[in-house]
Each structure stands twice: as structure tokens, then as C-alpha cells.
Amino acid sequence: MRLLHRPALLSIFVSLALLLAPASRAQRAAVEAEHGLVTSAHELASEAGVEMLKKGGNAVDAAVATGLALTVVYPFAGNIGGGGFMLIHLADGRDVAVDYRETAPAAASRDMYLGPDGNLLKGPGSSVLGWRASGVPGSVAGFALALEKYGSGKLTWTDVCEPARRLAADGHLVSQATAAGLKRANNLAAFADSKKIYQNGGAFWKAGDLWRQPELAATFARLQKNGPREFYEGETAQNIAAAMAANGGTIALADLKNYQAVFREPLRGKYRGYDIVTMPPPSSGGIALLQMFGMLEPFDVRAMGSNSAAKYHLFHEVMRRAFRDRAAYLGDPDFVPVPTAGLLDKAYIAGLMKNYDPQKATPSAGLAAGQPAGWEAIAALDKKAPTPKESLETTHFSVVDAAGNAVSNTYTLNGGFGSGVTIPGTGILMNNEMDDFASKPGTPNMFGLIQGEANAIAPSRRPLSSMVPTFVNKDGKLLLVTGSPGGPTIINTVLEIITNVIDHDMSVMQAVEAPRFHHQWTPDVMTYERNGLSIDTLNLLDAMGHHIGRHQNFEGAYQGDGETIMVDPKTHLILGAADPRKSDAKAVGY
């Protein structure tokens, strides 16, 4: 947007904006814990994780219990009908990435969401709504794999399922946020089981109601009795496959049986002497995050101040370049030759900033993708430009235990309440993750993201994602555990939380509370949170040529939900920062 009232004396405002001001005091204190801590989007889910820690479990045990409990108390994004990524840090220094992203069913095809006129289908049958919108769920397999390989061994799969089963069977009190979210969910009313369970048959749940979910409780009881493969091969799998077949869905019993979560090697980088550990593809976030750190490294961000026009200009230019590469080169590494090494090469990253002008914005329209080592293989695929649709409705939680093990986990149904479909007899809400694939060449999605042929729909392929659970270590010791929901804004939210701590010496609560901003190359618009930037700073950025718009796609005009933990290097206390942008979020420790 073109701002009014541009100051006549621009240089005066430049000087004011570049002043280094100390970070303001956090609005609330971080939660302190000695033995372990969980922070998530819902207090009851955090308590479920801490329950496991108190029983002698480790961070992985607690994370699985938290993720399963969110299925019950935070169905907006918590799930066993979706998928995501888990990053595990072990006390002995090892780091492990678990990819339990959904996969396209065998019946999926490149143009499955195009109508006879060649345009994207709308409504039921599209990639957004209904029985054809779901990828094969990965959450149960991912949690089970993490527990089997890296759980404490003191707790069983039955143990970690119990808080979720209990919350579904005995019920929990509906919060104001949950009641409002369920009432607003237009995708639920179209499906009988979803309307019955999640909207109280059309009467809607009210704050303070005791909400029981007996069918979901029975599903968790089956999982407890028969183990996690029950979801993929037992009665639950049969229920999913039968319902899909009866309603024109695409997930078959063989798709469920064949699904496997996989381990991947985390990506590693450095920023000002800190070690960054993050997710590899099919997350696009890790590569983009490390590229942005590399581009920022030569600049004295601290001297710019935490909220100056100079800093915002630099960060938006860095974001613009990372997202341009993201669009050109990233996809599922099991299907396409992602040039990871080339994209993270230090000389290549430095070259991305050769055309950076500290006084002027770079128009996105004229910004060509870089050519990292290995780029030709992707370019050969990219005859057209399919566009994925990344939803904002994801959730993140972080866990640290007394021994120093940690989990950073981001998972999703994709859209809020996924596809809107609940599998009859199970209480399971299904994802609409197929919408994260490229559905139609050359058509910008609802967020304006453009993506290459590397993310086209194909059977068994995992869609590209921005989810980026991340660790920050200093001198070999864990410092930060962080991540966020927010579609493409996830990457920049994580960047900002980490740089708030490293560059601006913010406490973990200050770093999470601080205003956020975003640029994703296209559309060529920088967005910011409500009341996040002063009019003086906005005028300066406008004068530099930035196109500015407030966040319109976020509840309350906010960006992300950065549930973050810091391990204080001096006191060794575990400090939990629940993001105030989510009213039900809570850090719980003991």
C-alpha cells in the first residue's frame, strides 16, 4: 500500500529509526522448571506431556503424549489424521529428524483437482474439502517410530496414549477459543459425523461445556490394546478405507498398510557462533532458514536495533531471496534431486546478496533464482510452475527433560479441522494435505506462493512444507527449542525468534512476544502484525520501495505461535515461553 503523511524530513526519521533501543520488558515471565517442561497450544496437552515426565519418561515420551492429547483438545490442528515433522535432540549430543509427513495415495494423479474446464475444483471433491482432499496420515506412525527408537523405555505405547484416551472418554471443559473456533468452522457442517461430534449436532459447544468424544476414546483404546500399526492395518484402517471407498475418497487399505515414517539427517548450520539444527526436505524451512542466517551473518544486526527500518529492510530482502530459491528448487527428496548442498554452499549464499541495496527494495519481479550446484536437474523438471497451497492452521510444541533431551515438533491437518471429514465410528478428523501439492500450473495460490514442478502430485510423494522445528545450541549445549505454525510465515517466525535472542539479547519470553513480519518473494508485499510497526518506520520502508500490507490472513492479525523453550546457560533452568497469540497456549513444567 502507498502510505500517506510521508515525513518531509526523511533523514530525521532515518536517524531516529536507526537508534539502538533496549528491548522492552516481556509482558509476562517465562515458566521456570528444573525437571522438565512442555509448551503447546493447549494447557491440557502440555499437562499430558508433563505427566509422562513425572512418571520417569523422557522428552520423546512426553512429546508423543502431548501430540496425541492435542488430537482431543485442539482439533483445529492437533491430530492423528494428519502428519508432520519431529526433531529430537538427545542428551548425548545426537540429533534425529523424523519425517511423518502425509503421502499422496496410489490413486492420486497430477491433475486430479482440475475440472473439465482446466480450472481448480471448488467445494467437495477439491484438494481442500471432502473425501478426496486427504493424504495418507503419518502422525501415529511418526510418534510410534520416535517412541520405539528414542523413548525412555520406561513407558509403553499404552502409557503415552492414556492421557488422550482419558481426555476423550471423560471429557474436558471447552475453552472460549475452542468454542469460537468450532463455531466458525464452515467445513465441518457439511459432514454428518463432523457436525455431530465437533459442532454438537449444530447446537455448538459453548465455553465451559464438558465435551466427551467416546468414538475417539474407543479409537485410542484400540491403539492401546493392539499397538500403533492398528491405525494402518487393523479395525481403524478398515474403517478409514471403507468410508473412503463409500464416499469417493482416494485412500485405500493398501495405502495405509504401506505408509512408513522415516528418519532423515537434520540440516546443520551456524550463526554468529551458535549451532542451528533444523529440518531437511521435504521441509523447505530448514534450507531457507540456513540461507537467511548465512545472508544475515555479514551485517551488524545488533547495531541496527530490534525495530529499525534498516533492520526490517535487510530482513525482508533476505527473506525475498530465500523464498525465491524455495520456489525454484525444493520438493520431496525421495522423488526429485533437491540441490541441498549447493543451496547451502557459503559462496553461493553470499552471492545471493550481491545485488542487495541497503537503501532500496529489490523488485521481486526482476529477481531471478540463483544457480546452485545441481540446479540443472531441477530446472529440467520445471517446464511449468505449479503452485502449492500452504495453510496457516498447524501447531507446534516443544519439550525438554531434566537429562537434556529435547523435542521440537510441528504437525498439522493442513487447513483448520483439515478436510472437514470425520471417519464414521472413529472420531478421527482427516487432513486436507493434498492441497499442499501443486494443483494447477501457473496459478498463484491463496497466499501467492509459487512452486516448481518438484512439488507436483504423484503417488507416495510427500508434499513440500514450511514446517521447521529447530534447535539452537551454544558451545555444544542446548539453548533453544522452537518452531511455529503459520504456512509460509513459519520460516520467518522461527528466524525472528532466534535472531531476537542472538542479535538482540532478548529473554525467551521477549523473543516470542516481539512483533513479527514477513516477506515470501511473491506476492511482492511485506506484511506485519497489527500495531507491529510505527508509522515512521512504515514511511521509511515505503520510501525504500517496499510494498506494505498488514496481515489479513491471521486470526487477530497475528503471525504464528512460537511455543519455545530456552535452557538458561547460567542457571540451567528450563524456561518455557507459551506464545500469547494463542489464548489456550500454556507452558507447564515441574
Per-position b or e across 471-486, b if 16+ CB within 10 A of its CB: bbbeeeebbbbbbbbb
Q: Is 236 a catalytic residue?
A: no
The DSSP H or E segment spanning 65 is helix 59-73
Q: What is the 3-state secondary structure (H, E, C) of 3-42?
A: CCCCCCCHHHHHHHHCCCCCCCCCCCCCEEECCEEEEECC
User: Counting every residue, how long is the chain?
Assistant: 590
Q: What are the residues whose beta carbons fall under 8 Å from the beta carbon of 466, sequence distance 6 or more? A: 283, 284, 285, 288, 390, 486, 487, 488, 489, 490, 491
What are the backbone dihedrals phi and psi of residue 526, each rounded to the nearest 5 degrees, phi first? -95, 130
**Sequential DSSP letters for 512-575:** HHS--EE--SSS--EEE-TT-S-HHHHHHHHHTT--EEE--SSGGG------EEEE-TTT--EE
Smallest CA-to-CA distance from 188 within 196, 176, 180, 179 is with 196
Contact 559, 494 (CB under 8 A): no
Contact 127, 290 (CB under 8 A): no
- Edge-to-edge strand ranges of the sheet holding 262-264: 262-264, 95-100, 83-89, 406-412, 394-401, 36-40, 586-589
C-alpha cell at position 389: 497451497
C-alpha cell at position 119: 480450472
Contact 414, 433 (CB under 8 A): yes
Which position has the grid cell 531476537?
500
Pairing of strands 406-412, 394-401: antiparallel
Q: What does the alpha-carbon distance between residue 150 and residue 255 come to, in Å, rounded to a whole number?
A: 26
Contact 387, 52 (CB under 8 A): no
For 459, the 3-state DSSP assignment is: coil
Contact 278, 290 (CB under 8 A): yes
Q: What is the 3-state secondary structure (H, E, C) of 250-292?
A: CCCHHHHHHCCCEEECCEEEEECCEEEEECCCCECHHHHHHHH
Give the count of alpha carbons within 13 A of 295, CB side only.
27
Q: Of 103, 394, 426, 564, which one is the catalytic site residue?
A: 394
Catalytic residue numbers, as ranges: 394
